[in-house]
Structure 1
Amino acid sequence: MSETGTLRRRFELIGVGLTAALAIAMIGLLAVDALRAYPVAGGLYEQARIAGWWLDHALGTNVFYHPFMWRSIATGILIGVVAPLVGTYLVHREMALIGETLAHTAFAGVAVGLLVSSTTGWNGSLMLVALVVGILGALSVQWLAERTDTYGDVPIAIMLTGSFAVGTLVISYGRGMSGINIEGYIFGDITVVTPSGAQLMAVISVLVVAVVVVTYKQLLFITFDEQAARVARLNVTWYNTLLIVMTAVVVVGAMQILGVILVAAMLVVPVAAATQIAHSFRETLLLSILFGQVSVVGGFAFSISQELPTGGSIVVVAIACYLLAILVSSRSTAAISTH
């Protein structure tokens, strides 16, 4: 390996190490927030609020002292890890729009949860309802794709439009009832990140990373040569289902920050940027996570400094990373479809 390649590899490993440390720190912060009623965690919680106050004082902001901002930032950091991680497999399988489809399915779940909450007084987690509906939607897409003779994207289009139609009908039905506020889930809003929603994102992140580590070779096999995987008697249906269910749970978690409309961007854009400069699938995987983190951190910084929506800021930074990757790459913009 050349000296330039060695240096590049070193920077990638440093970036991945820092990202992993940051993600672990965010999970720890969410754990302290969840357990703050207990003495030890309560002391750490107060220390964290003091540290946030000093950080606000140093930066001239009014952000880091508030626990709801911790949850939002922690959720965003974790999204920046798991969304590109799953998205790398989806992009290379030409399934980029599946994230948008499952986001619309989760939207229907949130709508149902809001309606039930407003009519019955139920105080359960809306994200848990969205998670269940999202997984059911993912399994339905998989079932339609395997049981019908239509083109591969037809079941995706049917599920995308059908689930959004169900969501709009439910919202219209409950429009006159109190407690129906769906805009934050459509466009993304850091204020909709509840403690239970942030904790759910932490659990999702740990599970998704663990599953990808354990099944990396199998998912890689079906991504690049599904027919050969079937000949090798790999249970392709099971791994396809696993991938689409992981996508569903990641989409539900990411919907809190990015909203239904923008959630698919974090599955696709960081991966698209990585494919412009990566030399292998493994490197694409690592670089997409790094681009995801740059997008999230940069988006939060831009959003806070300019008082703009966080979801849109994150996506704009991600697209800027993609354009920059094209400029520094010797490949054409068609590299994503051929790499």
Structure 2
Amino acid sequence: MDLLNYAFMQRALIAATLVGLTAPAIGTYLVQRRQAIMGDGIGHVAMTGVALGVLFNTSPIWMATLVAVVGAVGMELIRSRGKTSGDIALALLFYGGMAGGVMIINLSPGGSNAQLLSYLFGSITTVSTADVTAAVVLAAVVLAVAVGLRRQLFAVCQDEEFARVSGLPVRLLNLLIAVTAAVTVTVAMRIVGLLLVSAMMVIPVAAAQRVTRGFAVTLFLAMGIGTAVSLAGTVTTYYVEAPSGAAIVLLAIAVFLLMTLASAPLARRRARAAAAEAAACGIGVPAPRAGAAPEPGEAVRV
């Protein structure tokens, strides 16, 4: 493949692989908690970090990571209080982050909205060696947490009260999920873009849930789907002049639709197997509705 002869494509493919692995990995827990929109909110906040990086002539990725982590911790603290005013506070945080990013980038010497656009929608040609290095370090942290602590994190996402009674540090694990989600956003922003990163946290997970039931199987299948569409979308944008983030997300949606179609016959086979097992045991159980697929967050076996 001639595209591998170009250094910028080599960097882009490495970054795309990291995005495909990390975004669905942490997204599985956000979907389980029904907080799929959290990635979008963190992306808005990270815009301010990118703009501050340009303003102070430092790495936008590291500055965005710092600001996104602070914002994610604030979101988690607001969520944990469970007050009605929390929705308003989160909205102020989301839109304040976006507005702050646009304002700061315009006040920065040499800054422009065009420069910010590459972070909003992703751009494979702008991925530098420094970006890849930062992404590798951050992705290693995300995967260590998402995969290494999957049993503890799943317990917290499934039932906080039970996890607390079991002796797990629920507040610490909740903060860990929030911080890891923030780090994932900054890993993905150069390839997918800040405005579309939430889609990569949700769509591969939703696609995997169409055909799986166990939590661990869903987690790893979602990571596989994420990696496949990230690489395919990045290669597509090499041949077609389009934002890499848009191509990746559209491919992810296509996979979700295919998985949805495939889930119907799978559900029928499961229903027949359950009916046969029930008949063998001499009991009657209601057969699942044909075509039914597990709802988001339904997978409960680790």
TM-score category of the 2 structures, normalised to the smaller one: 0.7 to 0.9
Q: What's 2:218 paired with? A: 284
Q: Using a 3 Å threshold, how does the CA distance of structure 1 residues 156 and 94 change in structure 2: closer, same or farther?
A: farther
Pick aligned residue for 2:11 from 71, 75, 87? 71
Q: What's 1:218 paired with? A: 152
Q: Using a 3 Å threshold, how does the CA distance of structure 1 residues 190 and 274 change in structure 2: closer, same or farther?
A: same
Q: Which amino acid aligns with 1:143?
A: L
Kindly state the Cα deviation for residue 148 of structure 1 after the two structures are TM-superposed. Answer: 5.9
| Count of residue pairs the alignment pairs up | 271
Determine which structure has greater relative contact order: mean sequence separation of CA pairs < 8 Å that are 6+ residues apart, divided by chain length: 2
Q: Which amino acid aligns with 1:90?
A: L
Q: What's 1:294 paired with? A: 228
**What is the distance in 1 between the residues matched to 2:298 and 2:140?**
31
**What is the distance in 1 between the residues matched to 2:155 and 2:16?**
30
Q: Which amino acid aligns with 2:36?
A: A
Q: Which runs of 5+ in 1 are unaligned?
A: 1-54, 57-62, 118-123
Q: What's 1:308 paired with? A: 242
Q: Which amino acid aligns with 2:193?
A: G
Q: Using a 3 Å threshold, how does the CA distance of structure 1 residues 270 and 151 change in structure 2: closer, same or farther?
A: farther
Q: What's 2:52 paired with? A: 112
Kindly state the Cα deviation for residue 153 of structure 1 after the two structures are TM-superposed. Answer: 4.8
Q: What's 1:202 paired with? A: 136
Q: Which amino acid aligns with 2:37?
A: L
Q: What's 1:81 paired with? A: 21
Residues 113 and 126 in structure 1, CA contact (< 8 A), matched pair in contact too:
yes
**What is the distance in 2 between the residues matched to 1:72 and 1:336?**
31
Q: Which amino acid aligns with 1:311?
A: G
Residues 185 and 192 in structure 1, CA contact (< 8 A), matched pair in contact too:
no
Q: Which runs of 5+ in 2 are unaligned?
A: 265-290
Q: Does 1:238 pair with 2:198?
A: no
Q: What's 2:195 paired with? A: 261
**What is the distance in 1 between the residues matched to 2:89 and 2:175?**
15
Q: Which amino acid aligns with 1:167?
A: G
Residues 98 and 156 in structure 1, CA contact (< 8 A), matched pair in contact too:
no
**What is the distance in 2 between the residues matched to 1:274 and 1:179?**
40
Q: TM-score, normalised by structure 2?
A: 0.84
Kindly state the Cα deviation for residue 228 of structure 1 after the two structures are TM-superposed. Answer: 0.8
CA deviation string 1:244-275 (max 9, x = no partner): 10000010010111112111111000001001
Q: Does 1:335 pair with 2:295?
A: yes
Residues 145 and 155 in structure 1, CA contact (< 8 A), matched pair in contact too:
no
Q: TM-score, normalised by structure 1?
A: 0.75
Kindly state the Cα deviation for residue 227 of structure 1 after the two structures are TM-superposed. Answer: 1.0
**What is the distance in 2 between the residues matched to 1:279 and 1:196?**
39
- Provide the identity percentage: 35
CA deviation string 1:168-220 (max 9, x = no partner): 2213433xx32432111112111231211111111112222222333221101
RMSD: 1.8
